[in-house]
Amino acid sequence: MKKKLLPFLATSAALVLAACSVQTEGDANSDSNTESNVTQSTDKTTIEILGTSSNETDMNIVRDQLIKNGFDVKLNTQPDYASFSAQQDAGNYDLSLSSWTTVTGNPDYAVRSLFITDGDYSNLSDTDVDALIDKAAVETPEEYQETYKEFEDVLVTENAYIVPLYTSLKAQAYNSEVLNGDTIRLSKSRAFAWEPVSFVDESKNASDSLMLTQVNGDLTSLDPVKGNDGSINQLNTNMYVRLVNLTDDDNVVSDGSLSYNHVIAEGNSEFYFVLRDDINFAAVENGEAVDTGLMVSGQDVIFSLDRAKNADSVPDHRTYSLHEHIDTVELVTDVAELENVQLSDGSGNVLDALAEDLDAPISKTVENAADVNNDEGSYQVIKLTTTEAFPQVLNYLAHQSAGIVSKEQVESINTYDIASFDPSVDIAYGDQRAVINGDNHLYTSGPYIMTSKDDYEATFQANPGYRPETPETAQIKNVTVRFIADSDSALSALRAGEIHLLYGLSETKYEIIEEDDKLSLQSMPSNAVSYMLFNTSGRAVSESENLRKSILFSINQDEINAAYNGKKLPSYSTVTPLVDTGNKLVADPAKVEEFYEAYLAE
């Protein structure tokens, strides 16, 4: 049976913030920037823990728990993500702090990229893990509960491939004297939505800028398929429309998307979407957002999803594994096809379901975008077929990487040869340098478009072609996102009125918000799980399952929760917030000794 740990891939460094956040350190070839804090204990082996200064609380707690169980501990604390990455790539750790947020709301996303062989961020190769991930992917929620329990048993109980720490709450704070709280959403999974937000004084919506913040100012890419990290998740979510959306509690809906309605056909491998005709691409001219007059069409959908699923469609494609279950995407040109296909739940046919609540019934399905006229009953209908029965594909279509781009514009920019692409010379669609240099080539299909960017902030304007003259159009015209790396500085900026909303507030800061009369707090359980990854090459933990288990049972999640004022939740794996498997990690000093003795005997 194939069961081994693989060296970390370079791409694992991309797991940050909203998608995943692996925290790391500095100069891989020098100890000058590394906090070498070795605490002597008894005679157990030394465990080196890698993280960033933002993870200092977690690192200190884990250190103390390992020391209490007889291990020596070295902390490798790095000041920022780039230096963390260098240390991780150099293998200077036994355990590294990591986190993952399931921004699609479905459990397959919580495991596939992280743990399947050759996954985008996986360092594992275990056939049992692979089989269980694939089995659960095609099951219903009633069926996959047991499968994901088996998955956790293999991942954690039997092999201790990871060390779970906790599940976080998700919170944001806003200035209630400036922003209308009734217009501010907090979603369990998806990024913060800008378009519903309004100032208390609505007359300011057209003139004042909504002031937001995020940690990272170096943006991976404004091309949706080329990044899945905290630098761009919120930005791309608000700049590109998708076929479907997630509600605040993770239900897949057509509201706020490119489709009026969507349905699943009998067999769970064919999905149909009837498209709107009231969304145009935005562009930037002379620093202002303009309506290109170019409708977001079925051809753009096909182009966008074909490149999303194809690992070779762009250099450094970072999200293709999310869309690997897509087989074909096509336009339906015969209304009769829709009438003859039954729904998966047996309640009727596809045509009637797609036409529900439309102002005009579907009398014609057209291929040419120029022939679309929803008011007269002419629609474009997309049919998406998966490689196998896979209802969870809808969650992936709600992810920012499934954002719809302009076929015409992207092809006009990406004229380079993929095989010889040189990022130091070639500027691909979505490269932030195009915006910074004043050659803004973005065409965005969502409610906003980026108009400018520097090291300090990025500015956005509402897309004038997005659902104009409807309640769904963006309420505030201008948005500014300031790049503030330090969380305490971001909180200070909120309290000083320099920003209006702080997304992603630590549980330890709730009391500060609650004591400030002008600020309001929103909080809910999230899909964010923090855990530790073992080094998979060149360390004792890479080879010894017993040593890993000895470390695993040293971790006391109750003590971690206490350090966060009781506001952390237990976890067993990244699937914990989504599926109740019943698995729990209970610290056990006896097992620590049992497995350590077995390690010594090896």
Task: Grade residue 344 by pLDDT with cuts at 50, 70 and 90.
Answer: very high
Q: What percent of the chain has pLDDT over 90?
A: 80
Q: Which long-range contacts (CB under 8 A, 24 or more apart) does 127-134 make?
A: 127/1, 127/2, 127/3, 128/1, 128/3, 128/154, 129/154, 129/155, 129/161, 133/108
Taking residues 529-554, what's their average pLDDT?
95
* pLDDT value at 6 more than 60: no
Predicted pLDDT of residue 42: 52
Task: Grade residue 18 by pLDDT with cuts at 50, 70 and 90.
Answer: very low
* pLDDT value at 11 more than 90: no
Count other C-beta atoms under 10 Å from residue 426's C-beta: 15
Task: Grade residue 32 by pLDDT with cuts at 50, 70 and 90.
Answer: very low
Terminal CA-CA length for the chain: 21
Predicted pLDDT of residue 7: 41
> In a 10 Å sphere around its CB, with 0-12 CB exposed, 13-18 middle and 19+ buried, how is residue 58 labelled?
buried
In a domain, 382, yes or no: no
In a domain, 372, yes or no: no
In a domain, 33, yes or no: yes
Task: Kindly report, residue by residue over 156-182, the tens digit of the pLDDT.
Answer: 999 999 999 999 999 999 999 999 999
For residue 417, CA distances in Å to 308, 309, 315, 427 come to 18, 19, 10, 12
* pLDDT value at 10 more than 50: no
| Of residues 229, 278, 234, the one with CA closest to residue 256 | 278
In a domain, 571, yes or no: yes
DSSP E strand stretches across 196-308: 209-214, 245-246, 252-253, 259-264, 270-275, 280-285, 288-295
| Of residues 136, 308, 347, 324, the one with CA closest to residue 226 | 308
Lowest-pLDDT choice from 45-59, 109-123, 356-370, 381-395: 109-123
* Separation between Cα atoms, residue 546 and residue 544, nearest integer Å: 5
DSSP SS3 for 109? helix
pLDDT top residue among 390 and 223: 223
For residue 359, CA distances in Å to 56, 363, 559 come to 56, 12, 57
Taking residues 98-113, what's their average pLDDT?
91
* pLDDT value at 12 more than 50: no
> In a 10 Å sphere around its CB, with 0-12 CB exposed, 13-18 middle and 19+ buried, how is residue 46 labelled?
middle
Predicted pLDDT of residue 54: 82
* pLDDT value at 8 more than 60: no
User: Residues 36, 76: contact at Cβ < 8 Å?
Assistant: yes
Q: Which amino acid is at 356?
A: E
Dihedral of the alpha carbons of 167, 56, 488, 186, in degrees to the nearest 10: -10
Task: Grade residue 74 by pLDDT with cuts at 50, 70 and 90.
Answer: very high
Q: What DSSP character marks residue 444?
A: B
In a domain, 396, yes or no: no
pLDDT top residue among 81 and 222: 222
Classify strands 35-39 and 72-78 as parallel, antiparallel or unpaired: antiparallel
Task: Kindly report, residue by residue over 307-322, the tens digit of the pLDDT.
Answer: 999 999 999 898 988 8
Task: Kindly report, residue by residue over 524-536, the tens digit of the pLDDT.
Answer: 999 999 999 999 8
* pLDDT value at 283 more than 50: yes
CA 443 to chain centroid, in Å, comes to 22
Taking residues 577-588, what's their average pLDDT?
96
| Of residues 15, 186, 206, 182, the one with CA closest to residue 100 | 15
| Of residues 249, 212, 258, 277, the one with CA closest to residue 447 | 258
In a domain, 204, yes or no: no
pLDDT top residue among 401 and 20: 401
pTM of the predicted protein model? 0.84
* pLDDT value at 203 more than 90: yes
Task: Grade residue 37 by pLDDT with cuts at 50, 70 and 90.
Answer: low
pLDDT averaged over the chain? Answer: 91
For residue 370, CA distances in Å to 174, 299, 445 come to 44, 11, 18
Predicted pLDDT of residue 119: 80
In a domain, 509, yes or no: no
Classify strands 46-52 and 72-78 as parallel, antiparallel or unpaired: parallel
* pLDDT value at 30 more than 80: no
Predicted pLDDT of residue 549: 97
| Of residues 35, 25, 33, the one with CA closest to residue 91 | 25
In a domain, 492, yes or no: no
402-418 burial, b at 16+ Cβ within 10 Å, e below that, comes to bbbbbbebbeebbeeee
Task: Grade residue 273 by pLDDT with cuts at 50, 70 and 90.
Answer: very high
Domain carrying residue 109: 3-168+526-601
Task: Kindly report, residue by residue over 442-486, the tens digit of the pLDDT.
Answer: 999 999 999 999 999 999 999 999 999 999 999 999 999 999 988
Taking residues 202-224, what's their average pLDDT?
96
Taking residues 297-313, what's their average pLDDT?
97
The total of structural domains in the chain comes to 1
* Separation between Cα atoms, residue 137 and residue 131, nearest integer Å: 10
